Amino acid sequence: MKAQSKQVSEMKKVEKIVAPPPRHWVGDGFNVHGFFPHGPLTGHRMSPFFLLDYNALENFPPREEPFGVGPHPHRGFETVTIAYKGKVEHHDSRGGGGIIGEGDVQWMTAGSGLLHKEFHEQEYNREGGPFQMVQLWVNLPAKDKMTDPKYQAITNAEMGRVPLENGGEVEIIAGEFGGVSGPATTFTPVHLYNLKPKAGEKIELKFPSGYTTALLAVEGSAKINGETILPLNNLALLEREGESFTVEALEDGIFLLMSGEPLNEPIAQYGPFLMNTNLEIAEALDDYRQGKFGYLD
Ligand code: MN
């Protein structure tokens, strides 16, 4: 009898390539593919991430009236807004906010709660033009859900940067890649990068087994693990098990990579509130109705 060598595969395999779901409008400013939570990509499966809205590249016409979404509350998580084309501006009930320019990221910790509004930046709104944006919701662990709200405005120049061999690069927003850290601080382990390989360039990625990992093709298409095609505007969901995988650009591309440790806590969601129990949702609604989230025009 031949001794079978015990080989544990460390490869992280592709679980699913997800085509962009039909678009819906968020207010009148964001025409998004809601990749998750949707179908099998539940809040638990995608944890610590909860929601991914993707405004694929489109041209907005010039308009005097502002495009966007008016005042609304959030509690219990973080919204990460990534501007690829166009500009947006946010304002909140605590006097915070700012303009998110092309290539920039705003990492907002809603925590205990605030009201905010999200509009196309005034000048961009008047001129119109290409618009491409991602909003990712990162859940907070139970112990941090009521943390004080805060913003991290991250300009493109502040991001961590690792050059690739053939002229591409990896921009690190949060977490670490190739020994370089991103500027965003997170409450639980999260890696968020823009992979920007040139055509034919292959990137090797490695995350602990058990992490939730996905990749959105924002520009161009790629081949994952040398075999699975990720077309433009599609999402690749990797298996939780396994550690390493490769992304090879089929043309110059931009791929948003997210990977994080699942929270493994109960999830209770009602609209813009993301808590652990229905009682906490009821409290959030009460607090909102009582004006505890502040005031915003
Ligand atoms: Mn919002």
270-297: average pLDDT: 95
Mean pLDDT of the chain: 95
Centroid of ligand 1 to alpha carbon of 117 (angstroms): 7
Q: Give the tens place of pLDDT for each residue, 77-106.
A: 999 999 999 999 999 998 888 999 999 999
Contact between residue 112 and residue 164 where contact means Cβ atoms under 8 Å apart: no
Centroid of ligand 1 to alpha carbon of 255 (angstroms): 23
Centroid of ligand 1 to alpha carbon of 178 (angstroms): 33
Q: Give the tens place of pLDDT for each residue, 111-151.
A: 999 999 999 999 999 999 999 999 999 999 999 999 999 99
203 pLDDT exceeds 50?
Answer: yes
pTM of full prediction above 0.85: yes
Position 6 scores a pLDDT of 47
Residues near 30 by Cβ (< 8 Å), separated by ≥ 6? Answer: 53, 55, 68, 69, 118, 133, 135
Position 8 scores a pLDDT of 53
Centroid of ligand 1 to alpha carbon of 138 (angstroms): 13
Domains of the chain by start residue, with CATH = 10-262 (2.60.120.10)
Q: Is the peptide bond before 37 cis (omega within 30 degrees of 0)?
A: yes
Tokens encoding 75: 């509690």
Read off φ and ψ for residue 42, nearest 5 degrees: -80, 170
Centroid of ligand 1 to alpha carbon of 189 (angstroms): 23
Please, which pLDDT band fits residue 212 given cuts at 50, 70 and 90?
Answer: very high
* 3-state SS track over the chain: CCCCCCCCCCECCEEEEECCCCEEEECCCEEEEEEECECCECHHHHCCEEEEEEEEEEEECCCCCCCEEEEEEEECEEEEEEEEECCEEEEECCCCEEEECCCCEEEEECCCCEEEEEEECHHHHHHCEEEEEEEEEEECCHHHCCCCCEEEEECHHHCEEEECCCCCEEEEEECEECCEECCECCCCCEEEEEEECCCCCEEEEECCCCCEEEEEEEECCEEECCCEEECCCCEEEECCCCCEEEEEECCCCEEEEEEECCCCCCCEEECCEEECCHHHHHHHHHHHHCCCCCCCC
Centroid of ligand 1 to alpha carbon of 80 (angstroms): 10
Contact between residue 56 and residue 132 where contact means Cβ atoms under 8 Å apart: yes
Rounded distance between C-alpha atoms, residue 209 and residue 9, angstroms: 11
Centroid of ligand 1 to alpha carbon of 271 (angstroms): 10
CA 69-30-106 angle, to 5 degrees, is 75
β-pairing verdict for 160-163 and 169-174: antiparallel
Centroid of ligand 1 to alpha carbon of 92 (angstroms): 10
Position 36 scores a pLDDT of 98
